[in-house]
């Protein structure tokens, strides 16, 4: 077992690696070599990455891919996608190509309001608290003016502060429920700074408030933090076409395809076991764009799944229907995204990703990202109701297996050719590699 270490963060990068090699890798040089191999030879760039977080010892690469042919609100986009899962980008590209010949995707931001809360305890008369709040509300707002000034210039700011009585659920528990507009920033720092200022002012004003008894004056702030549940930071995207424009084969007519597709989505609307996987597929597309554009995919994930259960039951984020021979498929998803601040100005690939998208503002990025989710879901359901998911997955996975076996370029060429007409399974790939090598 590795010993307890103190002051680790203060060690140089080389010493951190030395410590790891000694205590975790039995001084095996391979571990050190692997870490060093992934350093960037451009020292400035490496330093930038080192400073993103603490204790950075190397870089962890993910593929930076692109999916072209996305027609969104009549404009063509090439989407940047950062994801390790082999079939996601191919699926997105396929869906994009399919829908660009059928009018493309339509997308619209419905609202952009974000939320933050000051959670506190108050021991006293709730009506007195309400009266106190109404008296100091404008002071609360103005106390944060040094923080909100710049945001207001960009069209954002604090929208509303509400006092919420939560004592029915937890004794003496109240909230300042605050709403914000953060323009093109994701706004986490802005919101949290405002909340901490509100909390400070709230406590100070309570101490000076003559109407409060001594115990009422002692408001205890439990915490001040933004919420990643953003049901009012919402975007919708959709596609539609005549049923007879949908894929058809000798086994499945376009009409049958449409009905089967709608049924597959209906299942995800009532069955949580399916809904979670269905939404996971949506998030394959969403996260890939979110990550490529330097946004916080954990926040997006948390908010999307919470939204999927907003009615008390976890369900699909997409919806499909057939009306008057028209098939339509749509998504509604909360996406608190930013195109300024955070990594957007720092990470060279994030900058490039945003440039690739034509430097979108936050709303446009919300639309593009929702489309990525819808496209991914379309591609997944398309495979599921026709060939099954494994055919495409294993084709893409073939390269991973070949790399695992360190196949040469010549071996790869021959095996890719072989698996064009044969089913890819892990054991079949191994058999074929062995056969090839034995000959
Ligand atoms: C795999 O990453 C995603 C799918 O399972 C999504 C789905 O089942 O809808 C293919």
Residue 76 above 90 pLDDT?
Answer: yes
**Max alpha carbon distance in the chain (Å)?**
93
CB 38 within 8 A of CB 60: yes
Pocket lining: 344 vs ligand 1, CB cutoff 6 Å: no
Q: Is 284 in the pocket of ligand 1 (CB under 6 A)?
A: yes
User: Would the CB of 280 count as within 6 Å of ligand 1?
Assistant: yes
Q: What spacing in Å lies between the alpha carbon of 284 and ligand 1's midpoint?
A: 8
Q: Measured between alpha carbons, how far is 287 from 358 in angstroms, rounded to an integer?
A: 19
Concatenating the DSSP letter of every residue in 69-110 gives EEEETTEEEEEEEE---TTHHHHHHHHHHHHHTTT-BEEEEE
Res. 400 pLDDT band, cuts 50 70 90: confident
CB 297 within 8 A of CB 287: yes
Instruction: Provide the CATH number for the domain formed by 114-227 in this structure.
Output: 3.30.70.420
pLDDT for residue 389: 78
Q: Atom 4, ligand 1: which residue's CA is nearest?
A: 281
Domain regions of the chain by residue span: 8-50, 64-111+231-386, 114-227, 393-438
CB-CB neighbours of 234 under 10 Å: 20
Q: Would residue 165 show up in a list of annotated catalytic residues for this protein?
A: no
Is 113 a residue whose pLDDT tops 80?
Answer: yes
391 has pLDDT over 90: no
What are the DSSP calls for 119-181, one per residue?
Answer: EEE--S-HHHHHHHHHHHHHHHHHHTHHHHHHHHHTT-EEEEEEEEE-TTTSTTEEEEEEEEE
Span 10-21, pLDDT tens digits? 999 999 999 999
For 405, residues 6+ apart whose C-beta sits below 8 A from its C-beta are 429, 430, 433
Q: Indicate if the pLDDT at residue 394 is higher than 90.
A: no
pLDDT band for position 115 (cuts 50, 70, 90):
very high
**64-111+231-386 matches 114-227 in fold:** no
Q: What is the pLDDT of residues 23-72, one digit of tens each?
A: 999 999 999 999 999 999 999 999 999 999 999 999 999 999 999 999 99
* 72, 235 contact by CB (below 8 A): no
Q: How is domain 64-111+231-386 classified at the CATH fold level? A: 3.90.770
Tens digits of per-residue pLDDT, 401-439?
999 999 999 999 999 899 888 888 889 999 999 999 998
Its sign, for the CA torsion 125, 131, 137, 140, is: negative
- Please give the Cα distance from 32 to 58 (Å, whole number): 10
Q: Is 85 noted as a catalytic residue in this protein? A: yes
């Amino acid at each position: 077992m590795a010993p307890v270490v103190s002051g680790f963060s203060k060690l140089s990068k080389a010493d951190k690696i030395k410590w790891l090699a000694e205590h975790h890798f039995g001084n095996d040089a391979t571990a050190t070599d692997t870490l060093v191999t992934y350093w960037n030879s451009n020292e400035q760039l490496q330093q930038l990455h080192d400073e993103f977080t603490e204790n950075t010892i190397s870089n962890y690469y993910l593929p930076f891919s692109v999916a072209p042919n996305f027609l969104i609100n009549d404009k063509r986009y090439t989407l940047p996608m950062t994801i390790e899962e082999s079939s996601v980008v191919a699926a997105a590209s396929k869906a994009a190509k399919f829908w660009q010949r059928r009018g493309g995707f339509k997308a619209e931001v419905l609202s952009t309001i974000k939320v933050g809360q000051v959670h506190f305890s108050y021991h006293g008369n709730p009506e007195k608290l309400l009266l106190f709040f109404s008296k100091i509300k404008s002071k609360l707002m103005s106390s944060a003016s040094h923080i909100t000034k710049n945001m207001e210039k960009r069209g954002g700011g604090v929208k509303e502060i509400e006092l919420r009585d939560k004592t029915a659920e937890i004794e003496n528990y109240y909230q300042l429920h605050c709403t914000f507009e953060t323009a093109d920033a994701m706004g986490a720092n802005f919101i949290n700074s405002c909340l901490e200022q509100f909390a400070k002012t709230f406590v100070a004003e309570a101490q000076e408030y003559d109407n409060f008894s001594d115990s009422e004056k002692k408001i205890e702030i439990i915490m001040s933090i933004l919420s990643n549940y953003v049901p009012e930071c919402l975007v919708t995207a959709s596609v539609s076409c005549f049923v007879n424009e949908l894929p058809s084969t000798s086994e499945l007519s376009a009409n049958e395809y449409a009905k089967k597709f709608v049924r597959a989505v209906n299942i995800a609307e009532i069955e949580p076991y399916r809904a979670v996987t269905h939404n996971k597929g949506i998030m394959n597309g969403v996260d890939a764009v979110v990550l490529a554009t330097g946004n916080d995919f954990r926040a997006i994930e948390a908010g999307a799944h919470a939204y999927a259960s907003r009615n008390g039951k976890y369900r699909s984020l997409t919806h499909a229907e057939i009306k008057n021979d028209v098939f339509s498929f749509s998504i509604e998803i909360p996406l608190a995204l930013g195109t300024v601040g955070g990594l957007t100005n720092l990470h060279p690939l994030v900058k490039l990703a945003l440039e690739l998208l034509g430097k979108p503002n936050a709303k446009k990025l919300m639309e593009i990202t929702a489309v990525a989710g819808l496209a991914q879901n379309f591609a997944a359901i398309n495979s599921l109701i026709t060939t099954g998911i494994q055919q495409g997955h294993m084709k893409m996975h073939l390269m991973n297996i070949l790399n695992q076996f360190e196949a040469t370029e010549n071996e790869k060429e021959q095996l890719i050719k072989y698996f064009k007409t044969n089913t890819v399974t892990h054991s079949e790939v191994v058999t074929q590699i062995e056969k090839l090598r034995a000959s």
